[in-house]
Amino acid sequence: MGFPMAGHLSRNQGIEVYVFNRTKAVSSKWIKQHTGNQITSFDSLSIKFDGVITCLKDDAAISSFLLKSEVVNSIKTNGFILDHSTTSLDLVDLISNNQEILSKKISFYDAPVSGGEAGAINGALSVMLGGPNKKLSKIKPVMNAYAKSITHIGSSGHGQLTKMVNQLCIASLIQGLSEGALLGIKSDLNMSKVLEAISGGAAQSWQMDNRFKTMVKGEFDFGFAVDLMIKDLNIALEHSRKLNLDLDTSKSILHKYKKLSNLGEGQLDTSSLIKLLK
């Protein structure tokens, strides 16, 4: 996700972009394709940044990068951290209350995204933003490089809470699409005509428009992986337990995704849920 997002950002003439990846070969590849600068280490770095934008796999990766390295030291006083990862609320609290971040008056924004790999490549992501108001006028033009919509939901954590809602909705949609598609396939319907017929009605969704045909064809190489959905659903269901919510449907779908992962399919995209029905 971060690779194409940074690519869009590099085309903004008012921004000087520096890229870092824990795998050096990835940032080296990015430099060959885009205009920018490569960072191989934050230790003893003389540059001071207005802000740092992160997009990483999970809580452990974000915590290690931001809180156990020299990254915060490289951010100017009154700068910002904009995190596009999907994480737990505990991590948001940990970063927001970090003493070094507080002492430098750095504004932290939890800003998970939706739209998948295609959205990142096309610069059409939707950003769910949580955090203070004071730097919105500065960070929104930055995000406009790779986002089609930016919604400031509320204070810190509200971005991640919104992403939990998003993932629960998506998981249920994919399960419904899987069951509907299988019924059509087993009934020997012309599935192209089925999609034409139902996509203009109440069943229409982004998942239907972008994944129905490929699910029918058995193609599952479109970005957001099963293992990442398992991580996201675990976060959402853990929070739901704290609210005394019993989300049986989401629990069932999480179980199905875990089964796929145990079968060695964890890197397939989430629409591969239909494979369990076949």
Closest CA to 111 of 98, 92, 93, 97: 92
Sequence-distant (6+) residues with CB within 8 A of 30 are 3, 6, 7, 19, 21, 36, 38
Give the H/E segment covering residue 125: strand 125-130
Q: Residues 29, 32, 140, 163: which is the catalytic one?
A: 163
The per-type count for the chain, helices as H runs and strands as E runs, is: 13, 8
Rounded CA-CA distance 149/258 in Å is: 32
Q: Are 226 and 260 in contact (CB under 8 A)?
A: yes
Rounded Cα distance between 208 and 179, Å, is: 12
Distance CA 168, CA 171 (A): 5
Cβ-proximal residues to 19 (8 Å cutoff; 6+ apart), any chain: 6, 27, 30, 31, 36, 37, 38, 39
The span from the CA of 77 to the CA of 107, in Å, is 10
What is the residue type of 212? F
* Residue 256 among the catalytic residues: no
| Nearest 10 degrees: Cα torsion 129, 131, 134, 139 | -40
Active site amino acids:
163
